[in-house]
Amino acid sequence: MEPLATVSGLATGIDFRQVVDQIIKIEDSRLNYLRRSISDQKADKAAWEEVRDLLEAIESASEGLSEGSGLDAFTAEVLGDYADNLSVSANSSANEGSYSVRVLQVADREALSSSQISSRSDALGISGQIAFGGSVVEVAAADSLVSIASAINQANTGEDATGVSATIVGSEGAYRLIVSADATGEEGLGYADVDGVMASLGLVGSYDSLKTRTGGGFASDELSSSSTEVGTLLGFSSGTPSGTVTLAGVSFAVDLATDSLEDIRDNFNTAAGLASSSAFAAVEEVTTGQYRLSITGTASASDDDGVLAALGVLQADTSSVSQVVQGGVLASDAGGTPADASTLVSGLFNGASSAGVNAGDTIQFEGTKDDGSAFSFAMTLVGGEDLQDVLDLLNGAQGFDGSATASITDGRLTVTSGTPGVSLLSLDAFAGNEGGGILDFGSFSTTTQGRDRMVSTGQDALVEIDGVLVTSSSNAIDDAVDGVTFTAVSADASKTLSVEVSRDTDLAEEAVKGLVDAVNGFFGYVSKGIGQEGAARSALAGDSVLRGLRTQIGDALRNAEAAGASGTLKLFDVGVEITREGAYSFESSAFTDQMLVDPSGVEALISDLLADIDVIVESELTTGSGSISGRVERIDESIDRVETSLFDREQRLEVRREQLLLQYTKLEQSISLLQGQQSSLAAVSATLPKASK
């Protein structure tokens, strides 16, 4: 920055700023050698980084081949018209071959649906515990559908995740809780509804059937220990089920908070002995580290405290629910006694008064069957008909025609769907009361919604491979045939699929070509600019290190050999040859031919080559001082030093510029002052009298 705001040369007539600029320019030009050094070193750095990229390309191609993605590649294909039933893949562990496959069953995850609930956010008044896979979900009376779903999902987090998720499906006033297993397989949700929470939600029915039958009786679920308290294994911290249970006719006390499987076994056997029962219990190790309680004797079990549900002895009813439609209560007398099927229509009451049904009166029935098809008919009373006559007409061809059953339940005209699950069943009955009566069947409504509790059944995949039945909890079966994964897509036992596994020579060709291209890329760079000058010459043209690397890699290519099926194999036998220009060519047809007749020999040959190339390339790509990274690091350090030196000198030049400007400014001021004094003296001199001659 100039020290003074002056106009250069007013006093001297010399543009001293231009003079200073010229001086600084001359002195600055003496720093150009530093700038050239920085530029040259940056070019060297970029060149070495390019070399590193080229060597890394060789390393990557080599790794691809050595890891089997090339030479050991196989392809698998499903042939025929029903190929969509199955997908297959093969890896380097496979062998060529053909397989006959039938998909008998696809794996699915278990999912349960609750009954219809009117609100997502209102308290449901349900409380208790649900056990899922070693964790317990606590449900309080104040919990809503949303909070119950949240609690189930929260338990499905972290290291001890239950593998069970919950969602809410539906619209305003009609919501359902869907509880589903995350994984496919017959293990399913693995739940125990010890306090009836799931039953209250309509996810399951009663626990009234044995879960696992054995040849001599029944068994519990499998647990990870036979000596640890069952409650601990199931994840209970409080409220652990306990009570009296009856197994095979023998009653005894069980407390899952303190009893292990071994304790339950011993307690049962003691109780059976006292009862002179021949039934007995044992603890079986089903698989390594998995134990279950096995009861031999009469196949019966019961309790009222959720103990057997927690143990997995009893299973819940998950069958579909039939839709039920009901009308109002029909009374058979003034006291309101509910009518039954034998009650005469003319004997029906409406409140305390007779309905006054007369011969000639009509009843109009309108409804829909399970499938939504409508019907409508009228019944004309002739006298003497009872409600069973009404039911017979409703159940006959004019009415539900076998799709549903009409009955009288607690005085109500009740229709129950004949097919459990979602139904479009409906009914309305209108009394004509032509004789002046007051018969009224009431308003009909759905009292039990038809639905499927089991949205999907947890099941394993069943696939037959060359006559061998293979079971898998997942649809992807990777342990039946070495190196081949069979994935069941859809089941059709009547269709036999043909699977072909063959060597993927295309991928192998691509992998070897990739290595040849990578080597040629490096060789081409080493030769770039040799014998040229100026911009055409690369920064590392003729570098001895690069020439040495090229020689080593070239020797590895020339010397690679392996024992083949019919003699020694060299690279030219698989289509890799050197050209006159010093690069390498690759003939894919020669490679494919050799792969088809001698894949092991080709693999051995390429492996021999890769072993040498890996040693050569790795030595340059390590982090040692002699590696490329070490060279780049040293160049960076040198550039930093030179840039620092250049910056310091440029700063000193700037200081010198300011000093020169200050000196010239002072000189200009001094001359200007002298010129002013001169002018003053001249003016004084002009006023003095001239000397006479």
- The amino acid at 421: G
| 435 vs 425: CA distance, rounded Å | 31
Q: What is the pLDDT of residue 5?
A: 43
| 131 vs 239: CA distance, rounded Å | 11
- Please tell me the pTM assigned to this model: 0.68
Q: What is the pLDDT of residue 490?
A: 96
Please list the ranges in the chain whose pLDDT falls under 50. 1-7
Map residue 470 onto helix, strand or coil.
strand
DSSP 342-379: TSBGGG-EETTEE----TT-EEEEEEE-TTS-EEEEEE
| Cβ-based neighbours of 676, under 8 Å, separated by 6 or more | none
Establish how many alpha carbons lie within 13 A of residue 184's alpha carbon, considering only the half-sphere containing its beta carbon.
Answer: 16
| 600 vs 483: CA distance, rounded Å | 17
- The amino acid at 149: A
Q: Which of 466, 550, 411 is nearest to 51 (CA)?
A: 550
Q: State the CB neighbour count (10 A cutoff) for residue 465.
A: 17
pLDDT digits (tens, 9 = 90+) for 658-674: 998 888 888 888 887 88
DSSP H helical ranges for 16-97: 16-29, 32-66
**135-139 and 576-578 beta bridge pairing:** unpaired
| 225 vs 509: CA distance, rounded Å | 54
Map residue 596 onto helix, strand or coil.
helix
| 82 vs 313: CA distance, rounded Å | 42
Q: Are 251 and 300 in contact (CB under 8 A)?
A: no
pLDDT digits (tens, 9 = 90+) for 379-391: 999 999 999 999 9
Phi and psi at 244, nearest 5°, equal -90, 130
| 323 vs 401: CA distance, rounded Å | 16
Tokens 């509804």 belong to which residue? 193
| 280 vs 35: CA distance, rounded Å | 96
| Cβ-based neighbours of 46, under 8 Å, separated by 6 or more | 539
How is the chain split among helix, strand and coil, in percent rounded to 5? 35, 30, 35
Q: What is the pLDDT of residue 194?
A: 86
Q: What is the CA radius of gyration of the chain?
A: 48
E runs forming strands in 148-264: 164-171, 174-181, 191-192, 207-210, 212-213, 217-219, 242-247, 250-255
213-236 core/surface letters (b: 16 or more CB in 10 A; e: else): eeeebbbbbbbeebeebbbbbbbb
Q: Which two tokens stand for residue 184?
A: 């496919």
Map residue 585 onto helix, strand or coil.
strand
| 611 vs 233: CA distance, rounded Å | 52
Q: Which two tokens stand for residue 413?
A: 């005209």
Tokens 């029915």 belong to which residue? 205
Q: Which of 649, 554, 636, 569 is nearest to 606 (CA)?
A: 569
Q: Which two tokens stand for residue 41?
A: 């070193």
DSSP-assigned beta bridge partners for residue 486: 88, 477
| 637 vs 627: CA distance, rounded Å | 15
| 564 vs 73: CA distance, rounded Å | 19
Q: Are 463 and 488 in contact (CB under 8 A)?
A: yes
Q: What is the pLDDT of residue 670?
A: 84
Q: What is the pLDDT of residue 385?
A: 95
| Cβ-based neighbours of 583, under 8 Å, separated by 6 or more | 520, 523, 524
